Amino acid sequence: MSTRAPLSAIALVSPVQAMIGAIIFLPALYVFWLSLNQSSFGQQASFVGLANYAKVLADPYFWKALLNTVIVVAVVVHVELLIGLAMALFFASGVPFRPLLLAIVLAPYAVSEVSAVVMWRFLFEPDVGMMSRLLASIGLPPIEWAVNPNHGLAMVSLLSIWLHLPFSFIILYAARLSIPSDLYEAAAIDGASAWTSFRRVTLPLLMPALLIAALFRYIFAFRLFSEVWLMTGGGPARSTEVLAVYLYLEAFRYNAFGPAAATGWLLVLASLLLALFYLRRLYREMFARA
Amino acid sequence: MIWHRSFTRNLIQVEIPVLLVLAFALAPFLWMLLTSIKPNADLSQFPLRYLPSSTTFEHYRTLIQRTSFPINLLNSLLIASGAVLLGLATSVPAAYSFSRFRFRGRRTLMTSFLVINMFPIVLLIIPLFVLMRALGLIDTFIGVIIGHSTFSIPFSIWMLVSYFNAIPRDLDEAAMIDGASRLQTIRLVVLPLVMPGIVTTAIYVFITSWNEYLFAMMLSGETVRPVTVALQLFIGEFTVQWGILTAGGTIIALPVTILFLFVQKRLVGGLTAGAVKS
């Protein structure tokens, strides 16, 4: 152990600490202070206690945004985990041209939200979109994401799944590859069917990775902003807002910094609560079955 | 008959899933690319025209000659490069220190980087806006670069530390016994070995910064506006001109996707290691 120079060690770490402190840590504290004050552009802040939280919690648009967020997050995370799991098992069972296929499947991870919005909007464009025409040819109406709030949220979910599926998939795939193949051989010798070996071998051993993927995706999906902002802008009539969009509009359109800051902390709190609840439930199920 | 059965089975179990997976991941991207090189007449043709009747770069030409897109591209390039330089200049020494020294608070600091990753940027936009305005950094390269490099620090550090840890300490010690100073050891022994990790991290920071939208939108005016924000404005401006929009989308997405393909394997290794070990 070369432990002789703790001073230089700290000197090497300090620039990173300074940046994190100035750009993330102090602002986070400042947001908390702001959430207890009434303030706006060029206005002196005045202490109002929890009034901002009360104001936000009494706003029907906040509840609408929270509901939208919870629905979209639940759909996106579960569908992603399900498809990701299926794909992980599929890839592990041996696919042709695996490296190439893997590269293609992971590619959306590098695509910016703005480009993704252009792709998906054009696919579903009511007049000229390929998907709209495909839907029309089997007798279905086009998806009117700009008019119908449910369609708008469905498009947002689709876009979100497309962008983040690589993340869920790769975590589950790595975990699946780390399961030793002897276990499957032993199960096969004992006469286990494919379904039994999935239930008794794959699923229990993948559970930690599933939990981690779920936790990460819950926390990240909860801050969903760009997809909604670029797809619907929260409209029509504020019906597709999610929490992050609500926060942004409060701050920069209605110039209400206090309520916006309170929303920020409520967002963090809600995402943590949901993630914790979900994790506990999964853990319990895991141990009840084991 | 056995051949026939296994053929159908193969079709259901392998070929169709492969096609589905390919279609979902690739089709939107490919369709955007195809659209961007189609003449305008092809776009509204009925029934749908899949392949262009003739290849054209007119949309790209319009985008580059008639709009601010070239400047936005340059801005994005400057911002992302700046974020890479600043990010590496601070993360590499820190990662070296985390890997080679044992000091009080080391573990806490490492964990705190993971926790910080959980903080949504959207929570920070108000204070960051206020802070940057007070410092006069609104609509400046420095402001956006500092933000982007800071947001990528946590992941960079975890990634780099695992690369530094993979180099046996015996190598450092052998070099120092042979009379090399610590700096020489770093320069001649450690850095060359850790270079693949540094390149991977650099590309990660570049892609994240290039793609970032929310912070850039909030902080940039006309002077430093990056491509992501510019394309979003074009979506409002050229609503029905899908040729131009898909050309813009392609220019933004294609280069970084290719860059990503080069380091995909290593990045994924770092990502899964970070996620699973945490």
Residue among A24, A171, A268 with most chain B CBs within 10 A, to mutate: A24
Residue A31: which of B26, B91, B126 has the nearest Cβ?
A: B126
Domain range for A118: 53-289
Contact between residue A104 and residue A98 where contact means Cβ atoms under 8 Å apart: no
Contact between residue B203 and residue B260 where contact means Cβ atoms under 8 Å apart: yes
Query: 46-105 in B: which are within 8 Å (CB) of A?
Result: 47-48, 89-91, 93-94, 96-98, 100-104
Quick check: is A188 in a domain? yes
DSSP code per residue over chain A: ---S-HHHHHHHHHHHHHHHIIIIIHHHHHHHHHHTEE--TT---EE-TTHHHHHHHT-HHHHHHHHHHHHHHHHHHHHHHHHHHHHHHHHHT--TTHHHHHHHHHGGGGS-HHHHHHHHHHHH-TTT-HHHHHHHHTT-PPP-TTT-HHHHHHHHHHHHHHHHHHHHHHHHHHHHHTS-HHHHHHHHHTT--HHHHIIIIIHHHHHHHHHHHHHHHHHHHHT--HHHHHHTTT-STTTT--HHHHHHHHHHTS--HHHHHHHHHHHHHHHHHHHHHHHHHHHHHHHHH-
Question: In chain A, what residues touch B93 (CB-CB under 8 Å)?
Answer: 12-13, 15
Quick check: is A164 in a domain? yes
pLDDT 10s digits, A47-86: 888 888 998 899 999 999 999 999 999 999 999 999 999 9
Measured in angstroms, the CA of B240 and the nearest CA of chain A are apart by: 10
Question: In chain A, what residues touch B17 (CB-CB under 8 Å)?
Answer: 90
Maximum distance among all Cα pairs of chain A, rounded to whole angstroms: 75
Is B211 within 8 Å of A121 when comparing Cβ atoms? no
ipTM: 0.87
pLDDT average, residue stretch A263-286: 80
Tokens matching residue A222? 């909860």
Quick check: is A16 in a domain? no
Is B126 within 8 Å of A116 when comparing Cβ atoms? no
Q: Helix, strand, coil proportions of chain B in percent (round to 5)?
A: 80, 0, 20
Q: Return the residue matching tokens 């940057």.
A: B132
Q: What is the mean pLDDT of chain A?
A: 86
Is A28 within 8 Å of B242 when comparing Cβ atoms? no
Contact between residue B116 and residue B172 where contact means Cβ atoms under 8 Å apart: no
Tokens matching residue B91? 């993360």
Is B253 within 8 Å of A115 when comparing Cβ atoms? yes
Quick check: is A23 in a domain? no
Tell me which of B119 and B164 has the higher pLDDT: B164
For residue B277, name the pLDDT band (cuts at 50, 70, 90): very low
pLDDT 10s digits, A114-165: 999 999 988 888 777 888 888 888 888 888 877 888 889 999 999 999 999 9
pLDDT 10s digits, B127-154: 898 889 889 999 999 999 999 999 999 8
pLDDT at B276 over 60: no
For residue A229, name the pLDDT band (cuts at 50, 70, 90): very high
Measured in angstroms, the CA of A189 and the nearest CA of chain B are apart by: 23
Is B235 within 8 Å of A117 when comparing Cβ atoms? yes
Measured in angstroms, the CA of B180 and the nearest CA of chain A are apart by: 15
DSSP state of B51: S
Quick check: is A28 in a domain? no
Q: What is the mean pLDDT of chain B?
A: 86
Torsion angle defined by CA atoms of residues B206, B67, A253 and B249, in that order, rounded to the nearest 10 degrees = -50
Establish whether the linkage from the previous residue to B47 is cis, with ω within 30° of 0.
Answer: yes
Contact between residue A80 and residue A168 where contact means Cβ atoms under 8 Å apart: yes
Residue of A nearest to B36 (CA): A119
Asked if A108 has any chain B CB less than 8 Å from its own CB, the reply is yes
CATH number, domain containing residue A210: 1.10.3720.10
Is B93 within 8 Å of A12 when comparing Cβ atoms? yes
Bridge partners (DSSP) listed for residue A46:
A38
Q: Helices A60-92 & A257-289, crossing angle to 10 degrees? A: 40
pLDDT 10s digits, B49-104: 777 777 888 899 988 998 899 999 999 999 999 999 999 999 999 999 999 888 88
pLDDT at B11 over 70: yes
Quick check: is A148 in a domain? yes
Quick check: is A29 in a domain? no
pLDDT 10s digits, A163-198: 999 999 998 998 888 888 888 888 888 888 888 888
Cα A119 to Cα A45, A68, A82, A133, B220: the distances in Å are 44, 23, 24, 16, 25
pLDDT for residue A62: 93
Q: How many domains does chain A have?
A: 1
pLDDT for residue B278: 37
Tokens matching residue A18? 């300074």
